[in-house]
Amino acid sequence: MSTKESQKNPTNRRKFLQLGLISGVSAVTGVSILSSFAADEEKELTPSGEKTRLLTPDGKIVEVEVSKINKYPEAHITPAEAREGIPNRKFVMVIDLAKCKNARSCVEKCQKAHQLDYHEEFIKIQLIQNNEEASPYWFPKPCFHCDEPPCVTVCPTGATFKRDDNIVLVDNTRCIGCKFCITSCPYSARQFNWGPKDKFKNLDQPYSPETGIPAVEGTVMKCDFCPDMLRQGELPHCAKACPMGVIYFGDKNEDIVTNGEETLRFSELINERGGYRHLEHLGTKPNVYYLPAVNRQFPLERGFDVDEEIIERYRDVPYVKKLKKLGKI
């Protein structure tokens, strides 16, 4: 519904977008992107008739419909515009491993939003065992949006880039498909479109690196932290979809992260709960933090309540081998 609207009237919406961002930053209206993270999810986009006054960057006061503030619909962000980050933001994600039970809602919602196929997953749930003695845990793995991204360094055309708001994106109109970024990413976060697919021809929505839709054959794609959602003041799809509130998302500048239910201080969360980054020693400086899988809320086995095919993925994990031997799965 809103997509159609945005196509009809893009310029109008662009204006609102800029306005909204400025209002968020200068806090003239007191509404910021983040404060609405935890807000109600699906607000109707009907003009309420109610208007408010906003200060524009050049000092003018304009009247705007209340329903459109911070709820600026998906204005189309062109590849060139996508290279600029959302101003004054440093996005971070915190994943609480103690709460994950492999419900796979994040994966499914992400796939739906990014029009991915069954096996194409921007966020993967891996089963990790830290050492032989430790019990395994579910490990959701999105792109880590590193501060020192090896993928960006090696890209010969600048198709993949790091933005000021911490997000690493791929512009598939620029990508030549050399796959060097895939080989240099130590987290296997990137995927390649190996062949033509019908969905690539779906041009209902103009392409934006911020949505990654439609994907293009022979180019690379990956988790994008859903900047289109962020611009609307919403959480990324994975964080929104998680029934356990595993995924916290927020802004390092404001020192706030939220999973939609609770909003916490990022620094306190990391300090008090022993937050860490995966494979820290590689020096890539990820922006995805993990809280260790201690005091688990669910037994690991709850995660095996999924498709046969998904369980098959974990067959090489020693723990799963043992379970299979005992006939428990």
Binding of residue 282 to another protein (CB under 8 A): yes
Which of residues 261 and 312 has its CB atom nearest to another protein in the complex?
312
- Tell me: does residue 300 bind another protein (CB under 8 A): no
Phi/psi for 199 (5° steps) reads -65, -20
Kindly tell me the burial class for residue 42, based on how many C-beta atoms sit within 10 Å of its own C-beta (0-12, 13-18, 19 or more): exposed
Smallest gap from residue 159 Cβ to another protein (A): 8
Residue among 97, 98, 182, 323 that touches another protein (CB under 8 A): 182
- Which CB atom, from 78 or from 253, has the smaller least distance to another protein? 78
* Residue 192 sits in the site that holds another protein (CB under 8 A): yes
Site string for another protein, 115-134 (x = CB under 8 A): ----x----x-xx-------
The footprint of another protein on this chain (CB under 8 A) covers a number of residues equal to 47
Q: Distance between CA atoms of 145 and 252, rounded to whole angstroms?
A: 14
Under the binding rule (CB under 8 A), the answer on residue 277 touching another protein is no
Residues 109, 99: Cα–Cα separation, whole Å? 18
Which string of b and e fits 126-165 if b means at least 16 CB within 10 Å?
A: ebbeeeeeeebbbbbbbbbbbeebbbbeebeeebbbbbeb
Residue 308: phi and psi, rounded to 5, are: -50, -45
Instruction: Kindly indicate which of the ranges 5-13, 75-83, 171-179, 269-277 contains the residues binding another protein, using the contact rule CB under 8 A.
Output: 171-179
CA atoms of 305 and 315, how far apart (whole Å): 15
For 34, 95, 228, 259, the CA distances from 39, given in Å and listed in that order, are: 9, 20, 17, 11
Report the residue from 14, 83, 252, 313 that binds another protein according to the rule CB under 8 A: 313
DSSP label of 108: H
Judged by CB under 8 A, the stretch of 27-35, 68-76, 150-158, 204-212 that binds another protein is: 150-158
What letter does residue 136 receive in the DSSP assignment?
P
3-state secondary structure of 139: strand
Smallest distance, Å, CB 230 to another protein?
Answer: 26
Which of the residues 196 through 215 are near another protein (CB under 8 A)?
A: 196
| CB closer to another protein, 2 vs 188 | 188
Residues that bind another protein (CB under 8 A): 119, 124, 126-127, 141, 150, 153-159, 174-180, 182-184, 186-188, 190-196, 216-220, 279, 282, 284, 309, 312-314, 316-317
